[in-house]
């Protein structure tokens, strides 16, 4: 409401271009949707996010190994803790030189954003497994492999899912940043491209789409948890 | 045949920190649990009785001494010795029947006979109608029933129980003790498992056991072994029960005085 009143009545013609009123945004969204541009950019962004996420799921087996075997943790942890504090965005210049502008570079940045939250949550999940659950499985005759697969993985699953949720969120943010500078398509590119021609209405449509997709991803994960992990309802909340 | 022999078993836990001293938890503990016998390890908290149970299960190894079941030394944990934990340790992602079937799966029992064994054990602990529930949908008493059924389903030689009723409220605890007593009383003595129960409740030990081993406080040593020949099912009002209870209480009380 304040946005509507402010942009319609307070701003003069030239500054209104910086904050167009909501009705203009709706019109812009309609234009973008009808021309197919919005869908094309959206599709490219989501595809990048998904491909990078699939690569980042490699953090789950690595995290289980690090959480379970001390020796693995001792070897890998210094590398992880060295790389982790470097924000994904700091990798953008180098990654453009490595991979050029395009899908691979974007996916690499998203991968970095996704990977560490999943890894750290998986490790914490494995370490947090009730020792008595493992003991119970042992005395019921489960060997090491079955304990890892049937007990440790399942017991850590709620926390792994939390890692996936955080990871997808961070990855989505990193994606948009990567696309701002290193892409010829995608929602980040759409925003930046619109900025250069001062189409603030398109910029806002792009931002809103990014927000909606982020929300949708999170809701989708919660729905999956409620459907497939009914025993861990707290994780769905 | 499942006789458990504990021979001069000691357990030392190494020091945790620099200033810390190693802890002698068990000191040359020796006793025997006969086949089909229900034996209780009774003592104050911190007397090493749970440690002893963990050694019996094979989760830890004794520092000195030997533990044998039927003359064979106890090695790694195995289905021949299943454990009922105080905190139930049910797998939260499995339903009641899946929990009970877990050990059978590990033994590669075919699905058809698995179902049959699960059904029999569900009935034994009185959980018919709850087979599809998840642990978080059950009360503490029901969870412990599942845990007992799960431990019995694999048909172990020895059933080990670590304060199984301690986490329950008083009413549920009394009921579970009574039911356990009923199961023990109704079973053919030769069909019964060899059982070892860790408890700090004198009444619980007297209601259920054939044989009570009273342990001293840190380090845990055998203070006295007591045979309980009262008829089953037992009543706390029985004069024999009251007399034994007083005797054990004095034993444990002595122990407390020395410490204090």
How far is Cα A21 from Cα A124, in angstroms, rounded to an integer?
Answer: 47
Closest CA to B144 of B173, B115, B117: B173
For B100-130, write each residue's pLDDT tens digit.
999 998 988 898 999 999 998 898 888 888 9
How far is Cα A153 from Cα A229, in angstroms, rounded to an integer?
Answer: 13
pLDDT value, residue B260: 45
Q: Does B56 lie in the same domain as B165? A: yes
A147 DSSP 8-state letter = I
Chain B residues near residue A135 by CB distance under 8 angstroms: 57, 59, 77, 83, 85, 89
Q: Name residues whose C-beta falls within 8 Å of residue B191's C-beta, 6 or more positions apart in sequence.
A: none
pLDDT at residue A236 tops 50: no
CA distance B93 to chain A (A): 5
A154: contact with B, CB 8 A cutoff? yes
Q: Is residue A118 in a domain?
A: yes
Number of Cα atoms under 13 Å in the Cβ half of residue B219 = 14
A228: contact with B, CB 8 A cutoff? no
For A158-196, write each residue's pLDDT tens digit.
999 999 999 999 998 888 888 888 778 888 888 888 888
The CATH number linked to A50 is 1.10.3720.10
Which of A129, A136, A152 should one mutate to test binding to chain B, selecting the residue with the greatest count of B CBs within 10 A? A136
How far is Cα A209 from Cα B209, in angstroms, rounded to an integer?
Answer: 69
pLDDT band at B189 (very low <50, low <70, confident <90, very high): low
Domain C-terminal end among B121, B155, B189: B155
CA distance B210 to chain A (A): 25
Q: Is residue A15 in a domain?
A: no
For B167-176, write each residue's pLDDT tens digit.
888 888 888 8
For A35-76, write each residue's pLDDT tens digit.
888 888 888 889 989 999 999 999 999 999 999 999 999 999
Domain that holds residue B103: 84-155
In order, the DSSP letters of B102-134 are: HHHHHTT--HHHHHHHHHHHHHHTT-TT-TT--
pLDDT at residue B259 tops 70: no
Sheet holding B23-33, edge to edge: B23-33, B4-13, B64-69, B72-73
Give the nearest partner residue to B78 out of A130, A135, A141, using CB atoms. Answer: A141
Domain that holds residue A224: 21-236
Total domain count for chain A? Answer: 1
pLDDT at residue B165 tops 70: yes
pLDDT value, residue B255: 65
Q: Does B149 lie in the same domain as B170? A: no
Q: Is residue A117 in a domain?
A: yes
Which of B93, B105, B163, B196 should one mutate to test binding to chain A, selecting the residue with the greatest count of A CBs within 10 A? B93
């Amino acid at each position: 409401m304040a946005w509507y009143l402010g942009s319609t009545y307070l701003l003069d013609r030239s500054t209104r271009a910086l904050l167009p009123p909501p009705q203009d945004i709706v019109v812009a969204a309609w234009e973008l949707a009808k021309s197919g541009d919005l869908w094309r950019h959206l599709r490219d962004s989501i595809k990048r996010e998904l491909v990078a996420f699939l690569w980042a799921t490699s953090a789950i087996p690595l995290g289980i190994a690090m959480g379970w075997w001390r020796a693995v943790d001792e070897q890998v942890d210094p590398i992880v803790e060295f790389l982790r504090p470097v924000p994904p965005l700091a990798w953008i210049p180098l990654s453009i030189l490595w991979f050029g502008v395009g899908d691979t570079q974007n996916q690499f940045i998203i991968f970095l954003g996704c990977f560490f939250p999943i890894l750290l949550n998986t490790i914490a999940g494995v370490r947090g497994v009730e020792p008595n659950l493992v003991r119970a499985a042992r005395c019921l005759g489960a060997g090491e492999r079955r304990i890892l697969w049937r007990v440790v993985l399942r017991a850590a699953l709620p926390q792994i899912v939390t890692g996936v949720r955080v990871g997808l969120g961070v990855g989505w943010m990193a994606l948009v940043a990567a696309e701002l500078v290193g892409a010829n398509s995608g929602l980040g590119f759409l925003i930046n491209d619109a900025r250069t021609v001062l189409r603030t209405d398109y910029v806002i449509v792009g931002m809103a789409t990014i927000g909606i997709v982020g929300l949708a991803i999170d809701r989708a994960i919660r729905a999956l948890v409620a459907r497939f992990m009914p025993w861990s309802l707290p994780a769905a909340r | 045949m499942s006789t458990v022999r504990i021979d001069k078993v000691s357990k030392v836990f190494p020091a945790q920190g620099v200033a810390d001293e190693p802890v002698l938890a068990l000191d040359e503990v020796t006793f025997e649990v006969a086949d089909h016998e229900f034996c209780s390890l009774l003592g104050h908290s911190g007397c090493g009785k749970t440690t002893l149970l963990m050694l019996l299960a094979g989760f830890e190894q004794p520092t000195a001494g030997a533990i044998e079941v039927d003359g064979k030394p106890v090695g790694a944990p195995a289905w021949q010795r299943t454990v009922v934990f105080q905190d139930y340790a049910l797998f939260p992602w499995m339903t009641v029947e899946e929990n009970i079937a877990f050990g059978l799966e590990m033994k590669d029992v075919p699905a058809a006979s698995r179902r049959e064994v699960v059904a029999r054990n569900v009935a034994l602990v009185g959980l018919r109608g709850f087979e599809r529930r998840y642990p978080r949908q059950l009360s503490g008493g029901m969870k412990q029933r599942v845990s007992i059924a799960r431990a019995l389903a694999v048909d172990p030689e020895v059933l080990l129980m670590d304060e199984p009723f301690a986490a329950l409220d008083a009413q549920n605890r009394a009921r579970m003790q009574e039911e356990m007593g009923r199961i023990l009383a109704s079973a053919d003595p030769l069909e019964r498992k060899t059982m070892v129960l860790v408890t700090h409740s004198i009444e619980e030990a007297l209601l259920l056991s054939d044989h009570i081993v009273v342990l001293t406080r840190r380090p845990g040593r055998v203070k006295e072994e007591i045979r309980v020949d009262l008829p089953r099912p037992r009543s706390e009002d029985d004069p024999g029960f009251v007399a034994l209870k007083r005797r054990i209480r004095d034993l444990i009380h002595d122990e407390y005085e020395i410490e204090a």
